[in-house]
Structure 1
Amino acid sequence: MVDPSARAEQPECETPSDADLLPAELRSWMRLLAAAGAVEQQLRSRVKDAMGISHDEFLVLCLLADQPGSRLRMTQIAELLGRPKTRLTYQVACLQRAGLITRMSACGDRRGIEVALTEKARRLLGESSRPLADAVSEAIAQTACSQGYSQLHDFLPGVPDTERQAAHPQDPPR
């Protein structure tokens, strides 16, 4: 009969350090995804309120605004945003109905479709972009602080290196 007061010896379990589970590249990728998710969450409702469009439609406008001539082919937009062409076609149709973009045949390729910003879109982006940019900075800063990811501060163009160093003195200066 087993003595109930006697404890069974438990083998010692060796657990790997959490730092050993993921290489630095994957850990950095996960931090970037967390920051992108936080930014997207912050922007979804703000974009809808400020501009009356979805977050995905906003991404199309931002991509166009950042291109020379504010125009791109549909295939390029799909590739740059990592979206299926069918989904992009729907978003572009919504933006066109709202008067924010125009669609035309691509120069030299009648099969290709090119989209461009309208003046209405330029005005709307001009009015809305500063508050939305501030929301992006806020989301990145909150994610960086809450998760202790000092590297995310590098995404904030308005934060001088001296402030980054004061917040995270262990980081080497850039």
Structure 2
Amino acid sequence: MPASDPHPGDLPGSPAEGSGLLPDELRAWTLWVAATGTVEQRLRSVVKECLDVSHDEFLILCLLAEQPRGGLRMTRVADLLGRPKTRLTYQVACLQRAGLVTRRTVCGDKRGAEVALTGTARELLRETSALLAGTVRQALAEAMGTDQLAAVRALVPDPSGQPR
């Protein structure tokens, strides 16, 4: 692990710091944000090398990969990723030029646009997904220790509705 990467005990809210000032939910959220920041930093270089796209463009591809072939409206993509629509328009244009997405007007709504993955993007994601998933797994394993994992697990509601 590079020296700049946090060790689990160095993350905000780790037991070593435990002042008890924050409620468990905020402490767990802080731990999760720190861990996902570590994952994002790790993924940036791997995504650029493997897919030749930015991290934000990669997030668009991942979101579209989970959708039916018809794609999603641009406004929905912006909402799901928490991105301004103008920034998303630029990123989608970059992905279009790279041949990774298509963009078309939504039937019956001249102002609406829908974006979808191309076959090229689907194949590229299939080819690189194991490496990218491994990068995520490794970064999370290095960023979160047992105590941090327990705190984050406690934040996630039990699907059965039973208290944890």
TM-score by length of 2: 0.78
String of CA shifts for 1:26-82, please: whole Å, max 9, x gaps.
101101101110110110000000011111100000000011226111100100000
1:68 aligns with 2:61: no
Go from structure 1 to structure 2 and tell me whether the alpha carbon gap of 1:101 and 1:120 turns closer, same or farther (over 3 Å shift).
same
Bigger relative contact order, structure 1 or 2 (CA pairs below 8 A, ≥6 apart):
2
Q: C-alpha separation between the residues in 1 aligned to 2:27 and 2:107?
A: 43
8 Å Cα contact 1:78/1:84 also seen in 2? yes
Regions of 4+ moved over 2 Å: 17-20, 150-154
1:149 aligns with 2:127: no
1:113 aligns with 2:113: yes
8 Å Cα contact 1:141/1:152 also seen in 2? no
Q: C-alpha separation between the residues in 1 aligned to 2:136 and 2:47?
A: 11
The equivalent of 2:78 in structure 1 is 78
1:41 aligns with 2:38: no
1:54 aligns with 2:54: yes
TM-score by length of 1: 0.74
String of CA shifts for 1:4-41, please: whole Å, max 9, x gaps.
xxxxxxxxxxxxx9443111111011011011101101
Q: C-alpha separation between the residues in 2 aligned to 1:93 and 1:140?
A: 31
What count of residue pairs does the alignment treat as equivalent?
Answer: 138
Q: C-alpha separation between the residues in 2 aligned to 1:125 and 1:69?
A: 14
Post-superposition shift, 1:99?
0.4
Q: C-alpha separation between the residues in 2 aligned to 1:70 and 1:50?
A: 25
Go from structure 1 to structure 2 and tell me whether the alpha carbon gap of 1:148 and 1:18 turns closer, same or farther (over 3 Å shift).
closer
Q: C-alpha separation between the residues in 1 aligned to 2:151 and 2:51?
A: 27
Instruction: Determine helix, strand or coil for the equivalent of 1:69.
Output: coil
How large is the RMSD of aligned CA atoms in angstroms?
2.0
Instruction: Determine helix, strand or coil for the equivalent of 2:83.
Output: coil
Go from structure 1 to structure 2 and tell me whether the alpha carbon gap of 1:88 and 1:44 turns closer, same or farther (over 3 Å shift).
same
Instruction: Determine helix, strand or coil for the equivalent of 1:21.
Output: coil
In the alignment, structure 1 segments of 5+ residues that lack a partner are: 1-16, 155-173
8 Å Cα contact 1:144/1:152 also seen in 2? no
